[in-house]
Structure 1
Amino acid sequence: MTDTLHRGYVSSPFGQLHYVECGTGEPVLMLHQTPRSWTEYLDVLPLVGATHRAIAMDTLGFGASAKPDGPHTIDRWADAADALIEELGLERFHLVGHHTGGVIAVELAARHQKRVASLFLSATPFIDEEKRRSAGQRKAVDHVVPQPDGSHLIELWNRRREFYELGEEAALNRFMIDALTVLDRVEEGHVAVRGSMMDQRLPQVTARTLAVCASGDHFSMPGLEKFADAGCETRVITGGHVPVPEQLPEEFSRHILDWVAAG
């Protein structure tokens, strides 16, 4: 179904931003985790695009979007997404964010408030003061040191291997491409998330908010209780791990469409 996908670029103060879209109707803007790209939603886009204008952008600094100098921050990523929203003329839209994309989506929903029809947060870490204090203690997730014999490629592959089932190597290949594209800055996305003020922005979100997590994603599962305490609805997607949009695209898309239709 990839022939139904259409690529495009918009201008922004940071350089060009790349996006892929499918379908027509009420817009659903999807934001990926780091260090990924729009391809995280490769199989989700046509499913959501069957009834909506499904859009997946490459976060500033990732994929085919501009890669400016300077530190990555949630605010700057949201500034870039703002530029795309305005250039595409999205007056009212739904937001979907996975992992890092969820933190960006919270910031956007806090900024745009009633323009955001609904907010769907997938495996989004709940960043609070405790998380910010412990930021310096976190272990590197994807950092590898390039080696002349290419052994760092195997090391990077193995760092993510446990998140994927046998037979899901195509999705893991897509991760590798995305990570290698930004290998010199591959950890900065995780650092930016830990430094965000998401917990202070969430109360300013007026859109209906659903937080979901794949049952196998033990990194993100503890956050569901905190989102529930913050007044969000929560659900567990049976099966899947960190890359659940690629592992269970039909189930993932169904949850999106059910939530979008609930308003």
Structure 2
Amino acid sequence: MTPTETATPRKGYVPSRFGQLHYVEAGDGEPVLLLHQTPRSWTEYLDVLPLVGSRYRAIAMDTLGYGASAKPEGPHTVERFADGVGDLVDALGLDRFHLVGHHTGGVIAVEVAARHQNRVASLLLSATAFVDDAKRGGVGGHGRVDHVEPRPDGSHLRELWDRRRGFYQPGEEAALTRYVIDALTVLDRVEEGHESLRRYAMEPRLPHITARTLAVCAPDDHFSLPSLAKFAAALGCETRVLSHGHVAAPEQVPEEFARTVLAWVGDSSSAQGHFDADAHAEHG
């Protein structure tokens, strides 16, 4: 199979306790699971997926309640999002996997890593909010991020576009259009992902994370950039600032984002290989 064929995206569904979960994958080898921000879908990784898939089995799922995944009733919570991730990795038979999460997807990744511990081979938190008392209390908050009221004249469609326009540069309209499509798919609950994040008790979950962790952020993403220092202090993890980009970094700097993922996964796999070899030698 040629590299181009290896990286060709393949779509699929798996059953879960909530209904079907949708995912797209590319490539083969060690699995790398990519979790998107809300109210997005797997298309946030449209350009990243085949690049990571050139060396690994890259899997981008639609978070429970978003994209083409099941949309259960009842309030969204980070814990329920993580339930969906758990159901997907079990259905795919992923005994061990690398985990990447962007924005809300990063907070979900924290919960998944805390639950599954040694099954998570490495953890990359991209522009992930450090949810502490200040965040939960709304200090430094920005109000409703994506909420719009539907109107008969359709003007709410332009309002939805304008709400995120400042996060994108001229020429990035295709990515902004994908955001609008994703948001319209869940317009009646478009804000709930952000609300669930602000209710999440993150601090008690952090000590349960055993995976080697990297926290990254784009330089213009001022919402998330301050969290790098907090994750470094709480997890003792490495941090990195990308060359440029904003809230939509996987779409704005996909090559750099993919290189960062590939390097981190590769380093983590090598480190685990050395650890396993040392352990084997000790017990040999």
What TM-score does the superposition give when structure 2 sets the normalisation length? 0.90
Confirm or deny: 8 A CA contact 2:11 2:23 kept in the other structure: yes
Aligned to 1:107: 111
Mean CA deviation greater in 123-132 or 17-26? 123-132
Mean CA deviation greater in 134-143 or 150-159? 134-143
* Shift in CA distance, 27/20, structure 1 to aligned 2, threshold 3 Å: same
Residue 237 in structure 1 maps to residue 242 in structure 2: yes
What TM-score does the superposition give when structure 1 sets the normalisation length? 0.97
Aligned with 1:221: secondary structure?
Answer: coil
What letter is aligned with 1:250?
Answer: E
Note the alpha carbon deviations across 1:38-67, whole angstroms, 9 max, x for none: 000000000000000000000000000000
How many angstroms apart in 1 are the aligned matches of 2:28 and 2:203? 33
Aligned to 1:193: 197
Aligned to 1:39: 43
* Match of residue 10, structure 1, among 9, 14, 19: 14
Aligned with 2:226: secondary structure?
Answer: helix
Alpha-carbon distance, 1:238 to partner? 1.2
Aligned to 1:217: 221
What letter is aligned with 2:246?
Answer: H
* Match of residue 77, structure 2, among 69, 73, 78: 73
Give runs of aligned pairs for residues 80-229 of structure 1, distance below 5 A.
80-134=84-138, 138-229=142-233
Alpha-carbon distance, 1:130 to partner? 2.0
Residue 247 in structure 1 maps to residue 247 in structure 2: no
How many angstroms apart in 1 are the aligned matches of 2:140 and 2:219? 28
Alpha-carbon distance, 1:197 to partner? 1.4
Note the alpha carbon deviations across 1:128-167, whole angstroms, 9 max, x for none: 1221222897511011111111111111101100111111
How many angstroms apart in 1 are the aligned matches of 2:256 and 2:97? 21
Alpha-carbon distance, 1:232 to partner? 1.6
Aligned to 1:51: 55
Aligned to 1:257: 262
Confirm or deny: 8 A CA contact 2:135 2:141 kept in the other structure: no
Note the alpha carbon deviations across 1:178-209, whole angstroms, 9 max, x for none: 00000100010000001111222111100000
Note the alpha carbon deviations across 1:223-262, whole angstroms, 9 max, x for none: 1110111112100001000000001100000000111111
Gaps of 5+ in 2: 269-284
Large movers: runs of 4+ above 4 Å: 135-138
* Match of residue 27, structure 2, among 15, 23, 39: 23
How many angstroms apart in 1 are the aligned matches of 2:43 and 2:191? 19
Aligned with 2:25: secondary structure?
Answer: strand
How many angstroms apart in 1 are the aligned matches of 2:132 and 2:155? 37
What letter is aligned with 2:75?
Answer: P
How many angstroms apart in 2 are the aligned matches of 1:202 and 1:136? 22
Confirm or deny: 8 A CA contact 1:135 1:195 kept in the other structure: no
Which of 1 and 2 has greater Rg? Answer: 2
How many angstroms apart in 1 are the aligned matches of 2:78 and 2:55? 30
Provide the identity percentage.
70
Gaps of 5+ in 1: none
Q: Give the aligned CA root-mean-square deviation in angstroms.
A: 1.5
Aligned with 1:211: secondary structure?
Answer: strand
How many angstroms apart in 1 are the aligned matches of 2:229 and 2:152? 45
For these two proteins, the number of residue pairs brought into alignment is 263
Confirm or deny: 8 A CA contact 1:135 1:191 kept in the other structure: no
